[in-house]
Structure 1
Amino acid sequence: MPPSPRPLRQLGFLTIGTFDAADPRRGHEATLDLITLGEQLGFDSTWLRHRHLQHGISSPVAVLAAASQRTSRIRLGTAVTPLGWENPLRLAEDLGTVDVLSGGRLEPGFSVGPPVHWEQVRGALYPDSAEQEDFGRARAERFLALVRGEDASSFEGTEGIEVYSRRVQPHSPGLADRLWYGAGSRSSATWAGEQGLNLLTSSVVKAVEGEPLDFAELQAELIRTFRRHHPAGERARVSQGLVVIPTDSATPEQRARYEAYALSRTPRTLAPQGPNRLLFAPDLVGGSEELAERLRAHAGFREVDEVAIALPFTFEHRDYVQILTDLATRLGPALGWRPASGAAGAGQG
């Protein structure tokens, strides 16, 4: 198999940060420990998902603020923040604050659309304005304008000892260039490109009527569509996120459990799911040499030089440690990636 035309340049990982409802601190601390381990192993980035009203991280920005004080190099992302749950101005303030605290390491990803289980949560989330809320791209454009430093207020000046700014504070120069959009359809990819955003593409794409149900080819065309509409063209940043589980140092029990997990999720990869015709990628499990060969043959992977491997939702902390270690010391190097200079395990392969 010929090597990817885009050698792997950036390697990251993504987690939802599960926890026990009876002891939520322990789970959140475990997530922070994984982020610290990721930096030690030389990963370029770590990404947190939002899980509202679930036993997963509901406030990634707060967790990343804590992570910014325990790390010094690794980039800190959200993949993705659903804007339907957020006030764009307040979110812009929070992101600016964490970006300043992290020294400019924040990589915020976001998406649009109504909140999950909208009919069940609207009374708590927007009790007085549910009918007026816009969950489409206009909300995203308002958010983008605020992060970019456009006016949030018509007033600027001093009242007594209070000084007011027209734009969101703190304003962090460069943050707007590190915004990512999570897109699963070509129309979303087109919009993201036109906005000059970076693109997050995950293990879910929207199947296209009349085209073969080939996840990798659909993802590759989504990426090409994005770049055709982006001012930077082929240089526009894209990160791919698939579930990839290397087993090089796994115990036999771990290997069996990982394979069973992937097998249980296979049916959803065989046909489009739901009215939106969502097609899921198969989870990849195996030794790093085998996984590297499969990834180099993947049409979507061949379009990118950045990946954020998605960790499975329900594994144990020790499993994540094993997976991250194998990703950094085995699979990453097999794909041409090298850990950050000075990281633990740098140069191993």
Structure 2
Amino acid sequence: MSTDSPRDLKSLGFLTIGFFDEADPFGGHESTLQIIELGERLGFDSAWLRDRHLQHGISSPVAVLAAASQRTSRIELGTAVIPLGLENPFRLAEDLATVDVLSRGRLNPGVSVGVPTHFDDIKEHLYPDSWQSEDFTTERVDRLLHNLRGGDVSTFAGTEGIEAYSTRIQPHSPGLADRLWYGAAGLSSAAWAGERGLNLLSSSVVRAEEDDDFARIQRAQIDLFRDRHPLGQAARASQGLVVIPTDTATPEQAAKYRAFAERRFARTTAPQGPQRMLFAPDLVGSSAEIADTLQAHAGYQAVDEVVFALPFTLEHDDYVQILTDIAGILAPLLGWKAEK
């Protein structure tokens, strides 16, 4: 695999977990909505929410994005990612289509599959009658795609009394299925996403299957995805790393950011656990330093879209500073221009 010169950055996005204090969940959710509004004012092309269950982070990103759709007008809104093992593709399709209609076609749903985290601890409440037979494979994505594309989900259509029934999910939002993204950690998942014609979300976590170098692994996955995709090199792939510029940070903020990255650095030095998950180092420093690092990164060189992840557990003012530096200093160094 060869590396090449990075492309100019065309789409600038950010991702947040939406951390909140259990004693004040409104405060954290309101902060997240304000951050999305700020992102739009700064010219970001997209804002994405992580999905966290039984944690102090956003558990219902689709609901939060419904609110965000009414407080913004231009920025695209995404999920990165919704684990489909906890979702019913029928009901999720209804929710996604509703938010896409409310946002006038700005929703970018990102999904993944697999057995839910701590499944043995939650299965009796999640699927009390069917946990032994639930299918947690990519079949769930196929069902969601079928529903978003307007495929039949009922054998009954017509009027019953004064109520009219449709055979497909309502509302139907044309084009939403084409904006479905898949979060892939391994080569087989990247290949599958390409074969299905999906978009690829490549994050700061990959599976070390044939290599122990994060950048080379990420690049190999993106290359394989495009090799299998009907659009080839035009297929959309986005890279997501934790990026923390310090250009306008106070000394106290900069020290906090570096301490955050140092606490997480050990997991980046070698694959972790039986699945050999490898984490990318957090990028902390001046925008010029981060730009140089990214432009030399094999994974970054393959994309022209990014979804930079905000570090969790920081304060609202920290996110304001980080996003302002990304949009105003870092992204222009990467060739990005805010939409006029």
TM-score w.r.t. the length of structure 2 is 0.98
Deviations 1:293-333 (A, max 9, x none): 11000000000000000000111111000000000000000
Equivalences for 1:76-87 in 2 at 5 Å? 76-87=77-88
Query: Is residue 2:118 matched to residue 1:113?
Result: no
In the alignment, the residues of structure 1 paired with residue 6 and residue 127 of structure 2 have an alpha-carbon distance, to the nearest angstrom, of 47
In 1: Cα distance, 2:290 partner to 2:228 partner: 32
Counterpart-to-counterpart distance in 1, 2:8 and 2:152: 41
Q: 1:13 aligns to what SS in structure 2?
A: strand
- In structure 2, C-alpha distance between the alignment counterparts of 1:306 and 1:115, rounded to whole Å: 28
In the alignment, structure 1 residue 264 sits paired with structure 2 residue 263: yes
Secondary structure of the residue aligned to 2:80 is: strand
Q: Is 1:231 aligned to 2:214, yes or no?
A: no
* 1:3/1:296 contact within 8 Å kept: no
**Superposed, which structure 2 residues align to 1:8-157 within 5 Å?**
8-157=9-158
Equivalent position of 2:338 in the other structure: 339
Moved more, 37-46 or 5-14: 5-14
The letter of the residue matching 1:268 is R
Write the letter of the residue equivalent to 1:304: V
How far apart are the structure 1 equivalents of 2:125 and 2:338? 45
Deviations 1:55-91 (A, max 9, x none): 1000000000000000000000000000011000000
**1:172 corresponds to:** 173
- Residue 347 of structure 1 corresponds to which residue in structure 2? none
What's the Cα RMSD here?
1.0
Amino acid at match of 2:269: L
**Alpha-carbon distance between aligned partners in 2 of 1:261 and 1:267, rounded to the nearest angstrom:** 12
Alignment partner of 1:307 is 2:322:
no
State the Cα deviation string for residues 135-166 of structure 1 (Å, max 9, x = none).
11111111111111111111111111111100
Indicate the residue corresponding to 1:346 in structure 2.
none
Change in CA separation of 1:274 and 1:317 when aligned onto 2, cut-off 3 Å: same
Q: Quick one: distance in 2 between partners of 1:73 and 1:20?
A: 29
Letter of the 2:233 partner, please give it: E
Find the aligned partners of 1:205 and 1:27 in 2 and give their Cα distance. 29
In structure 1, what is the Cα distance between the partners aligned to 2:141 and 2:107?
Answer: 18
Are residues 1:217 and 2:220 paired?
no
Structure 1 stretches of 4+ with a deviation exceeding 6 A read none
Q: Which amino acid aligns with 1:240?
A: Q
Shift of 1:4: 3.6
How far residue 125 of structure 1 moved from its aligned partner, in angstroms, is 0.6
One-letter amino acid of the structure 1 residue matched with residue 135 of structure 2: D
What is the SS of the residue equivalent to 2:98? helix
Distance across 2 between alignment mates of 1:127 and 1:113: 18
Aligned to 1:329, what secondary structure does the other structure show?
Answer: helix
- SS of the counterpart of 2:65? helix
1:41 corresponds to which letter in structure 2? L
TM-fit CA distance, 1:3: 8.6
In structure 2, give the amino acid aligned to 1:34.
I
Letter in 1 for 2:268: T
Q: Structure 1 CA distance, aligned partners of 2:293 and 2:92? A: 39
Aligned to 1:330: 329
Q: Distance in 1 between matches of 2:136 and 2:221?
A: 23
C-alpha distance in 2, partners of 1:91/1:167? 13
CA distance in 2, matches of 1:290, 1:4: 17
Correspondence 1:163-202 to 2 at 5 A: 163-202=164-203
Count of aligned positions: 338
The residue number in structure 1 matching 2:252 is: 253
Deviation at residue 5 of structure 1 after TM alignment: 3.7
Question: What 5-or-longer segments of structure 2 have no aligned partner?
Answer: none
Contact 2:205 2:278 in 1 (8 A): yes
User: Any gaps of 5 or more consecutive residues in structure 1?
Assistant: 342-349
Instruction: Report the AA paired with residue 81 of structure 1.
Output: I
Q: Distance in 1 between matches of 2:301 and 2:294?
A: 8
**Cα distance change on mapping 1:286 and 1:78 into 2, 3 Å:** same
1:11-54 CA-partner distances (Å, limit 9, x unpaired): 00000101111110111000000000000000000000001011
Instruction: Name the CA distance, whole Å, in 2 between partners of 1:226 and 1:175.
Output: 21
Counterparts of 1:207 and 1:85, CA distance in 2 = 26
TM-score where L is the length of structure 1? 0.96
CA contact (8 A) 1:215 1:281 kept: yes
Q: Output the CA distance in 1 between the equivalents of 2:144 and 2:44.
A: 29
